[in-house]
Amino acid sequence: MTAPSQRVAATVMLLDLESLNRSPLALDPFNYTVVPHFIRPAEAALVQADFPVIGAPGLLPVKTTRHGPRFAALIRELQSEAVAQWPSAAATGPFTATSHTSVSGAT
């Protein structure tokens, strides 16, 4: 878990929401999008360094992992209202950012 003294300032934006808004929503075979540089390049290495170390494949609730402040900030942004509002009302189907860390088991 993130110690209060290690929290990232709320003003740091890790995600490029403009890139998300410019990215098309694909509907087949399911709803998805690909967002180039969705995590801002200046922040990407810091976020990566704060990812939790997980020794086995699986799907883990984020709150059960030990991670750094940039990773915690990333999760907060992914769960923010701004991300939840995408895609626009004109698009069809659900799109949800979840609070799980997926690990493939690949090294």
Is the model more confident about 1 or about 41?
Answer: 41
pLDDT at 106 over 80: no
Rg (CA), the chain: 15
Instruction: Please tell me the predicted confidence (pLDDT) of residue 11.
Output: 58
- pLDDT-derived band at 79, boundaries 50, 70, 90: very high
Name the pTM for this structure.
Answer: 0.67
The residue length of the chain stands at: 107
Contact 87, 70 (CB under 8 A): no
Q: What's the chain's average pLDDT?
A: 77
Percent of the chain with pLDDT over 70: 70
pLDDT reported for residue 88:
59
> 59 in helix, strand or coil?
strand
According to the model, what pLDDT value does residue 107 have? 37
Would you say residue 62 has pLDDT above 70?
yes
Across-strand partners of 39? 15
